[in-house]
Structure 1
Amino acid sequence: MNIKYKIASVILTMTLFNVAGQDRKKDTIDDQVVNVVRPYQPTISDAFKIKDIPKLSDSNSVKKKPVKYNIFSIPVASTFTPAKGKAATVDKAKPTKLFDNYASLGVGTYTTVLGEVYLNHAINRSENVGGYFSHHSSQGGIEDLLLDDDFAKTVLNAHYSQKLRDFSWKIDAGYDVRSYNWYGLPQNFFGPEEAGSIDSGYSFSGFNMGGKLNFDDAIVKDGSVRFRRFTDNRDSGENRFIAKTSFSIPIQDELLSTSFYIDYIGGSFDNTYTSADELKYGNTTLGLSPSYQLKHDDLTVDLGLRLVYLNDNEFDDNKFFIYPNIEASYRLVDEILIAYGGITGGLIQNSYQEFSNQNPFVSPTLFISPTDQRYSGFLGLKGKLSNNVSYNIKGNYYAEENKPLFKANDAQTFATRDYQYGNSFSVVYDDVTTFSIAGELNIDVNRNFTLGIKGEYFNYSLDNQQEAWNLPDITGSIFMDFQISEKWYAGASAFYVGERKDQLLLVGTLIFPDPTPVTLDSYFDANAHVGYKINDQLSVFAKVNNITNQDYQRFLNFPVQGIQALAGATYQFDF
């Protein structure tokens, strides 16, 4: 009954809805379209969360009983001592033992003897004493010579130094003697007859003493003095005294670096080349060189000048010179590329002793005069191509008044002295401008191998002389050192010197002088050495010079020895 009643109700309700839906005319609400302008954007307020916190009901939970701990400290005697910690050490190679002294002796062809002894002894922490001895001699033996060509050089030096709290000082004294022969007899002028009457041997000797002072924190930085006496066995003598000091003058917050020197020289020759008149020379120079350094980032500039006063003691003539002294450098690319340049000048004091070192075959009849280097300009680039390769390229321009040049003396048919046969050299002076380009490359492959290469080209312009006598147009050199192993080492060197010019002139009572220009050929001199270290103190070595056996002339009519071999040993020791 209930089911029938429910079904009848549903049918009646559906019938009423159907009737209402069919009667559209009586509906007062029209249908409309609803347009959604913006999408729905929910807000936080629309969200809700469950706020109920669940609770666990554990009927088996057990309440923990609090536990208390009681510690009873009882002192116990103990003899335990913890070991001290030590830093771990790195195994190091055994350091090389260095010795303060050594002695070396070698013998070779041409009856050559080469010996050296160097001594240095520390008296205490602040005092040192030492000395040096060297000897190099040869009995000669150059082929096709009419005169002897033996030579010998011996040098002896001793020094004492002390280091104190604020300064250090050193004194030293030395003696040297050298003997040579004027063996360069022009054989197109003279033969065995004339050679038999010539005593070509001569010698130089010199004594010097001096001292140095260096201050740690003072206005005066250092100072030095040196006296030298130089003579030969042909009654020539020269005295020279040099004193130098440098100091810094504070100007506000900067320092003005200044150096000052006194240079005295005086000497005489027993006669001139063509007369018996005594030849004297002497002068005194005083120089002052203030300079100031500017630094800004990668730029460094040294600004200065040189003031020089010259007093010619023989001719009673005084002169005053002012020279520039400016240098600058700029790091273009860190250590890779550095540009530098400058312009400097100075008065160069020439001496008999220095001329004999440059050319030992000069005659004892020289005119000694200083050289006025008006300016010396240079510009270059230097740097590193890598950590092991460095380079230097430089251009130079010199303007010099009274520049000395070695020139062969005239050969005289009526010669009365042993150096008047065209077998000696004089010094002539001229105003010379020189332009040169130089390059240098140094390679340090590693600690065991180094290589160096140098070269320079020269161009000369003179006012009076026909040529730049005995000055080369090109020079070059190469050096190499190689540590083959712990015991073996070796090295090599080579030198190249370009062509030079000189002049032959025969003078006689019935002969009209007719100078003959001579071009000296360029030469290449290669040398090598090898050594073996027997132990820490003893080693042996062998050297070979002029490997290519070139019969070249260093100066006109003065050929050098051919291939030379030498062997010896070196011993190092301590006192």
Structure 2
Amino acid sequence: MKRLFLPLIFIGVGLLSKTDLMAQTEKRGEVQDQEFVIRKDRVLTVPAQPRVFERLPVLPQPSGIQDFRYSVTPYFLKIPALTLQPTAVQKDYRQPKLDLYSGYVRAGYGNFDSPLLEARFMSISPDPVSYSVNFKHQGFRKGPAGTYQDISPESHTLFSGDLGYFLSAAEIYGGLNWAQDKYSFYGEDPNFQIPNEADWNDPIVQSNILNNFQIFGGIRDIEKVGPFSYDAQLRFRTFKDSYLAKENEFGVRGEGKFRTDSDWSGKVGVEYFSTSPSNESYEITRSYFGIRPRISYDYEAFRFTAGINVVSEDDSIPGKESDFRIFPVLKASYQFAEEFGFFAEFSGDVNLNTYFGFVQENPFLGPDTRLLNTVNNYKVDGGIEGQFQETFHYRAGIDLSRYNNLHFFVNSMADSARFDIVYDEKTTVVNVNAELGFKFSETYSLGSRLDLFQYSLSTEAEAWHRPVWEFRVNNQIKPFEKLLIQANLNFMGGLKARGINTVEINPPVQEVVNLKTIADIQLKADFKITDRISVFAEGNNLTNGQNMRWLNYPVRGVQLIGGASFKF
């Protein structure tokens, strides 16, 4: 019975399944609502298992000796203790030694019968004493005075010495200087005519030997970077010519500078000079005293300086109100960039003039009984400057100055071969200047400057013997290590001199003489044969121009000189 019941159950389940399938088949094709959800960003991630939980592999255990035994045998040796002798390590902290030479000798010879001798000896280890001795002589036994060149020689001799003693924080220094310059009054007026039926002999060219001796001494600090630095000096100078002109001068100079931790700094300068000029007709004593305090402020590329110049001098001038003068000093500069900056100045001062200073400017000066200082009432100066990559630099500016007693040189009415000093009461000078420079490594460098002047005078007719324009170019070429070449160009124009009309000589009538433009080309070459021996050659006035800086005084033509030098 049970066997029959089980097949009947299976048959009944099968019939029910077939009935449901047929019902689904009849509903196929009917549209029903459905909802689907699609997640595109779903990512199945499995957390990483940390490596620290990994099981270490089980290494096989080595089988070997499990028990180790060592035997130690003592050896008793009688060894003395080691004796050490430590020494400090010797290190040379000095800079590498350079090839320095204490002595230098230079000798040569040129046309116009011109010998040259120059010598120098100096210390190369300035601790604690430094010294130097210099000597130079150059002569021209023949002058440029045409038929009178044999009686118009010229020579220059110089001897100087310097000595310094270094203390822990200061230096005591001193020195002396002796110079002798010989000139000839060969200036001949080409327009001069010998009077008819006059007993006339050849002119006598007189010479003049100028001797000056200077001695000085002082003390100054060494570091120059501390909160205070100083420099004090005493000096004495004496001058004498072949005639009766003499001048002695005693001077004291001092300067102190202070520096702060901020952007402020300052300095004070003090100087006093007592000068005693004398001649056959006069002997006077002149004094000059000045105090110049300054204070400066620096902030990045901006610099400003303010101060005063206090001067007292005792020149005797008609209508002079006081010997005491005060001038303001204002200076400012700002560098916007390396390529461009500006500078400006407003100041005034009194320039000390001495007979020795005038003779250094014009050696054909005759005796003069009137020596006056030049008062610079005001100076207004401004301009621009800059450089490009330390290769090219420039500077341009304009200077407007007002002077009292500006000096000029004119030919003497009594002797046209000598000069007198004249002063203009009130003079305004405008100077426009420009500088250009270029440097290409050590091979080539150039420096040039142009100056234009304009003079407004009150008592003199012209700015006698002062240029209207100047132009200078200096070139230095070093094509290779042992050769150095210098080429210089110097031009000066617009010079005017005061001449005498030879037609009307009683009384003499003055006239303006326009001097020719001065053009001078110089070439110098130095070739180093060894580190000690060199040869040189120089040429001056290579255009062979009859340059005349002073009326009736033409210079020599082409001047050539050559020689050798030796270091020891």
Residues in 2 aligned to 1:289 and 1:74: alpha-carbon distance in whole angstroms = 94
Pick closer, same or farther for the CA change 1:454–1:255 going to 2, 3 Å.
closer
Pick closer, same or farther for the CA change 1:245–1:23 going to 2, 3 Å.
closer
User: Are 2:328 and 1:327 aligned?
Assistant: no
**More displaced stretch, 124-133 vs 252-261:** 252-261
Contact 1:500 1:521 survives alignment (8 Å): yes
Contact 2:110 2:561 survives alignment (8 Å): yes
Residues in 1 aligned to 2:375 and 2:67: alpha-carbon distance in whole angstroms = 104
Contact 1:185 1:421 survives alignment (8 Å): no
Matches within 5 A, 1:365-384: 365-384=368-387
Matches within 5 A, 1:8-47: 10=14, 12-19=16-23, 33=33, 40=39
Which residue of structure 2 aligns with residue 414 of structure 1?
none
* Candidates 121, 127, 130, aligned match of 2:129: 127
| CA drift at 1:35 | 6.3
Which residue of structure 2 aligns with residue 111 of structure 1?
113
| CA drift at 1:427 | 1.2
Instruction: Please list the CA deviations of residues 486-541 of structure 1 after superposition, one character each: whole Å capped at 9, or x if unmatched.
Output: 33322211101112111112589972332221111112100112222222222111
Which residue of structure 2 aligns with residue 424 of structure 1?
418
Matches within 5 A, 1:375-454: 375-410=378-413, 420-430=414-424, 431-454=426-449
Contact 2:169 2:221 survives alignment (8 Å): yes
Contact 1:311 1:317 survives alignment (8 Å): no
Pick closer, same or farther for the CA change 1:441–1:47 going to 2, 3 Å.
closer
Residues in 1 aligned to 2:73 and 2:333: alpha-carbon distance in whole angstroms = 80
Contact 1:501 1:520 survives alignment (8 Å): yes
Which residue of structure 2 aligns with residue 488 of structure 1?
483
User: How many residues of Structure 1 are paired with residues of Structure 2 in the alignment?
Assistant: 533
User: Are 2:228 and 1:228 aligned?
Assistant: no
Residues in 2 aligned to 1:435 and 1:545: alpha-carbon distance in whole angstroms = 31
Residues in 1 aligned to 2:297 and 2:387: alpha-carbon distance in whole angstroms = 24
* Candidates 169, 173, 177, aligned match of 1:174: 177
Structure 2 alignment gaps of length 5 or more: 78-95
Residues in 1 aligned to 2:73 and 2:315: alpha-carbon distance in whole angstroms = 103
Pick closer, same or farther for the CA change 1:63–1:304 going to 2, 3 Å.
same
TM-score (norm 1): 0.82
Pick closer, same or farther for the CA change 1:480–1:509 going to 2, 3 Å.
closer
Contact 1:283 1:313 survives alignment (8 Å): no
Which residue of structure 2 aligns with residue 89 of structure 1?
none
Residues in 2 aligned to 1:279 and 1:516: alpha-carbon distance in whole angstroms = 30
* Candidates 538, 541, 548, aligned match of 1:553: 548
Which residue of structure 2 aligns with residue 479 of structure 1?
474
Which secondary structure state, in structure 2, belongs to the residue aligned with residue 484 of structure 1?
strand
Which residue of structure 2 aligns with residue 266 of structure 1?
276
Residues in 2 aligned to 1:186 and 1:250: alpha-carbon distance in whole angstroms = 59
> Percent of counterpart pairs with the same letter?
21
2:22 maps to a residue whose letter is N
1:138 maps to a residue whose letter is F
**More displaced stretch, 122-131 vs 345-354:** 122-131
Matches within 5 A, 1:158-169: 158-169=161-172
Which secondary structure state, in structure 2, belongs to the residue aligned with residue 15 of structure 1?
helix
Residues in 2 aligned to 1:74 and 1:479: alpha-carbon distance in whole angstroms = 92
Which secondary structure state, in structure 2, belongs to the residue aligned with residue 170 of structure 1?
strand
| CA drift at 1:17 | 4.4
Instruction: Please list the CA deviations of residues 66-108 of structure 1 after superposition, one character each: whole Å capped at 9, or x if unmatched.
Output: 887979799999xxxxxxxxxxxxxxxx976221221111110
Which residue of structure 2 aligns with residue 257 of structure 1?
267
User: Are 2:207 and 1:201 aligned?
Assistant: yes
Instruction: Please list the CA deviations of residues 319-357 of structure 1 after superposition, one character each: whole Å capped at 9, or x if unmatched.
Output: 111112222111201x32222121222111111111111
Which residue of structure 1 aligns with residue 253 of structure 2?
244
Matches within 5 A, 1:20-99: 33=33, 40=39, 62-65=60-63, 97-99=99-101
Residues in 1 aligned to 2:13 and 2:352: alpha-carbon distance in whole angstroms = 144
Residues in 2 aligned to 1:313 and 1:118: alpha-carbon distance in whole angstroms = 45
User: Are 2:505 and 1:503 aligned?
Assistant: no
TM-score (norm 2): 0.83
- Taking only aligned residues, the RMSD between alpha carbons, in angstroms, comes to 4.0
Which secondary structure state, in structure 2, belongs to the residue aligned with residue 514 of structure 1?
strand
